[in-house]
Amino acid sequence: MAAQPPAGGPSRAPAILALLVLIGALAFGGGLFAGGGARVWAVFLVNLLFWSGLAASGPAIAGMFELTEAKWAARLRRIATTTVAFMPVSFGLFLVLMAGLSSLYPWVMTPLPAKAAWLNVPFFVLRTLVGVAVLYWVSIRFARAVHASPAGAAEEPGRARRARLAVVMLFLYVIVGSLLGYDLIVRVPRDPGGGVERGAARLGAPPPGDAGPGQACLHHLDRLDVLLLVAVPRDLVR
């Protein structure tokens, strides 16, 4: 009879996920080295907003459970708040994104005088990073309050504090999320030469016939990016 692996042994999941992160980082660097420019940054932006949106949506759902006194969702509320574990990583990736502004947004290199008060790099970076940081800080505080108390939604101890944090967090979720959607997505050019639409729509599409080695490399990196998207979610809800 074959020997069974010991129960409760070390999981391989962290090592596998670390390997995927390394592959993703190498793919990102390789894409930039191959001359991907705006397209590589667009794929990075799409992924960053997708996973950051999931991370922020978990505590937002738990906050709605708290404010609506959904006592039936005690376990779901705790599970939902676990997505805040990705928030420190997400904030670090937002810092990385700031290095690609000139590739994503033409107004960085060619300012628009009529919109210069809103579309200027210092103010853009400030409102993006401060908005994300405040949202993440309140979300993490709410998640800690949920896990620190054995009480269910709208129950003591800690009911008033959790309710206050939930209200602030949900307002920030709507405001910061809308701001990010407008600044980071709407402001990306829709021309065929670059932007989020080109980066997202070309996932899995065959490279053009006249594509050189750099474009062919980017085509395969796009397919790799799809694989990485499928590989991560299970760990986010553990």
Residue type, 57: S
- Taking a C-beta distance cutoff of 8 angstroms, is the pair 201, 51 a contact? no
DSSP 68-126: TT-GGGHHHHHHHHGGGGGHHHHHHHHHHHGGGHHHH-GGGTS--GGGTTTS-HHHHHH
What pLDDT is recorded for position 50?
A: 94
The residue among 233, 225, 227 whose CA lies nearest residue 46 is: 225
Whether residue 238 has pLDDT greater than 50 = no
Share of the chain above pLDDT 90, in %: 39
169 vs 197, residue with greater confidence: 169
What is the rounded average pLDDT of the residues 195-216?
43
User: In whole angstroms, what separates CA 88 from the centre of its chain?
Assistant: 10
Side-chain-facing half-sphere of 145: CA atoms under 13 Å: 25
The residue among 138, 5, 143, 154 whose CA lies nearest residue 79 is: 143
Condensed to tens digits (0 to 9), the pLDDT of residues 160-175 reads 889 999 999 999 999 9
What pLDDT is recorded for position 199?
A: 41
Condensed to tens digits (0 to 9), the pLDDT of residues 144-165 reads 999 887 766 656 677 888 999 9
What is the rounded average pLDDT of the residues 185-209?
50
What is the rounded average pLDDT of the residues 84-97?
95
Element (H, E) at 5: none
What pLDDT is recorded for position 151?
A: 64
What pLDDT is recorded for position 4?
A: 54
User: Rounded to an integer, what distance in angstroms lies between the CA atom of residue 140 and that of residue 133?
Assistant: 10
Longest dimension (CA), the chain: 77
Model confidence at 218, pLDDT cuts 50, 70, 90, reads very low
Most confident of 2-11, 142-151, 185-194, 213-222: 142-151
